[in-house]
Amino acid sequence: MSLPSFSPQTLPWLLLLSLVVAMAAFVTSMEEMELELEGHKQREFDYFALALQWPGTYCQRTQHCCSSNACCRGSNAPTTFTIHGLWPDYNDGTWPSCCTKSNFDPKEISTLTDALEQYWPSLSCSKPSSCNGGKGSFWGHEWEKHGTCSSPVVRNEYDYFLTTLNVYFKYNVTKVLNDAGYVPSNSEKYPIGGIISAIENAFHASPQIVCSKGAVEELRLCFYKDFEPRDCAVGSDFKINMVTSKGSCPQYVSLPELASSGRDGLQSLVSDEAVL
């Protein structure tokens, strides 16, 4: 059987056709890959972690002041645990992020602003990254990175912030610890096991505690999707690690009092501290 022959005039058309076919295959492959990645991003989370910040520890980092940093409010600076965020997490220790292209709109939460300023303030002057690659507000960062992954439990921006506030008020960690004798102090150190036990007795679930230089920096409460408390432990040795040198906290930790960073002349920008 003889092979077909082509004239010189037909070769450019054949090359063009081959290029078109190759490009079509490449585009199809990229679309399939994008769908796979999108499917991974949209995989439904397993539980919520309510991350709380201890101002007395965070505000020690404040070297300059700005109007958006609650550490700089003088006598009005926060003295209780404040909200870092409500984070959808997976049981394997990972988490989804930036699940939709829903940009933060401050108008959506205008009726919540006063409460957010008091209980969910920024403790830094830095502008955290947004999901679109720019810089934005602390609330915008939390909504775009974490809040957009809260579906189907939380479906929009307003509900995300309102739900977080309600959970924060219901599970008042500061009151639990104060009632157990763990109060802010720049001289006392408290057993980390006692702090964990106080929370377990109150909420019937174990928290996660993160320390910085021997001081409590963050405390996280974990919840099922119906916001009933659950252990934050991912591994069976989690509690052991939290009360030994293997974890981020030593056996005895401090809850430092807030050293006010209020100043008459506020400077506009400072820290490049990363925000989770």
Kindly state the tokens that stand for 40: 């991974």
Strands 208-212, 252-253: parallel, antiparallel or unpaired by DSSP? unpaired
Active site residue 146: yes
User: Active site residue: 142, 144, 157, 218, which one?
Assistant: 142
Catalytic residue among 146, 157, 217, 218: 146
Q: Please write down the HEC assignment for all residues of 191-259.
A: EHHHHHHHHHHHHCCCCEEEEECCEEEEEEEEECCCCCEECCCCCCCHHHHHCCCCCCCCCEEECCCCC
Give the span between the Cα atoms of 33 and 262, in whole angstroms.
51
To the query of whether residue 84 is one of the catalytic residues in this protein, the response is yes
Strand partners, 87: 49
Which listed residue (84, 144, 217, 218) is catalytic?
Answer: 84
Respond yes or no: is residue 144 known to be catalytic: no
Nearest CA among 76, 68, 54, 52 for reference residue 260: 76
Catalytic residues: 84, 142, 146
